Amino acid sequence: MTMMCLTRQLTAVFALGICLLSLPANADEYADAISLFNKKDYKAAAQKFQHSLPAASDKSNALYYLGISHQAMGDGNKAKYYYEQVIQKFPTSQAANYALQILHPSAQESASTTSSASTNSPSSSQDNLDSLPNEVAIPFERGTQRHMYVNAYINGKALRMMFDTGASSCAMSFGQLKSLGIVVPKDAQKIRVSGTGGVVDGKMFEVDITLGKIKRHKVKMIGYGGADNDPLLGQTFFDVLNYNIDNPNGVIRFRKKGLKKSLGYDAIEVPFTRSGNNLIVDVKINGKPTEMTFDTGAYGVVMDPFSARALGLKIPEDARYGASGGIGGMQRSVTFFVDRMELGPVLRTHIPITLQEGAPGLLGQDFFANRPFEIDYEKSVIRFSH
């Protein structure tokens, strides 16, 4: 793989929010390396990962992070070397799955982080969005964990779907597709689907989706193996439109791009960047900065233990242990409260956070479900009402 190809994949690496699972024997040194990596001091991080490698109880993780660090520094050859070492020496590890996603992106995709340009380009569809009303109001219902559900049609079949800004593609299990009578084409692209619960096999193909008066053709859909989680209405459906989420009234108002903002000129604006299809925002937890995915499909605030440790978060004695997950299965988790969390000028205090091994950083419903907001793709901002 050329240096240019590896560089194009760097955004996808950080979009995955990957912090892997096992803690090496020299845990403190490894944690220091993770902290340096999160601070984007990749040279120092690479040196720490290299030094921790001989004593690591799981060398696949250290090798993988060495690859990411060298890739971030622009050394594609060294990055490729470490990725190949992971794949060759630890072929069944989760780190090998992630390395494959970087070296062979044409055969790997993620339901939560799609990096292919064709999946987020409006020109790839055959829609006539000009025929839509200026604004379409779609009611949603809250689930038991504050998730937002809408009633849609997939190839004419009625389906209740989770509205999920953290899912860069629409997705559902093979079992759910079969129950709807939707046949996955034999020539559908084989992919690996990465969710908060792990990695599973899947296929990508195209469907027609209708939501109220919004009709989209040839929308990218991912079918995956494993458990039947909630079907996801993701970015491949709605990122051609701006939308306002009126939480108090339970309505999503989609509107054409180019129209004036609907929350007024005194709204709080928070910028976001795009990583693949995901919306990445800068968050402060107890005053320390980190990047997270703005995710309406996440119940709460989620991150992996290594990232939490780099932010100085410690698990208190009264923390609640349990299990959480999604596509790919369930993982053990622990939940506790942090003193304060900030998204630009938006402040929440005494808010719960869940640590789950391998999870990307997700800013979920616990943080923003109590106020209206809108996503403006043209200005790359999220607007919150006062």
Domains and CATH numbers, the chain: 3-107 (1.25.40.10), 117-255 (2.40.70.10), 268-384 (2.40.70.10)
Highest mean pLDDT among 227-231, 333-337, 374-378: 333-337
Per-residue confidence band for 330, with pLDDT thresholds at 50, 70 and 90: low
Mean pLDDT across the stretch 26-35? 70
Cβ proximity of 243 and 165 under 8 Å: no
- DSSP symbol at 288: E
What is the biggest distance separating any 2 CA atoms in the chain, rounded to whole angstroms? 62
Comparing 59 with 101, the larger pLDDT belongs to 59
Instruction: Compute the mean pLDDT over every residue in the chain, rounded to the nearest whole number.
Output: 77
Tokens standing for residue 5: 């190809």
What token pair was written down for 359?
């999870």
- How far is Cα 373 from Cα 262, in angstroms, rounded to an integer? 10
The pLDDT assigned to 94 comes to 63
Stretch 278-299: mean pLDDT: 88
Quote the pLDDT of residue 8. Answer: 41
pTM of the predicted structure, to 2 decimals: 0.56
pLDDT at residue 285 is higher than 80: yes
Taking 60 as the threshold, does the pLDDT of residue 288 lie above it?
yes
pLDDT tens column, 42-99: 899 889 888 888 776 667 788 888 888 888 888 888 888 888 888 777 766 667 767 7
State the pLDDT at residue 160.
93
Predicted confidence at residue 266, as pLDDT, reads 60
Q: Provide the pLDDT confidence category of residue 219 given band limits of 50, 70 and 90.
A: very high
pLDDT at 227 over 70: yes
Mean pLDDT on 326-347: 81
pLDDT (mean) for 9-25: 38
Q: What's the half-sphere exposure (Cβ side, CA atoms, 13 Å) at 150?
A: 25
Q: How confident is the model at residue 21 (pLDDT cuts 50, 70, 90)?
A: very low
The SS3 of residue 371 is coil
Does residue 119 carry a pLDDT above 50? no
d(CA 268, CA 344): 9
Of 61-70, 267-276, 366-375, minimum mean pLDDT range: 366-375
Average pLDDT over residues 170-174: 91
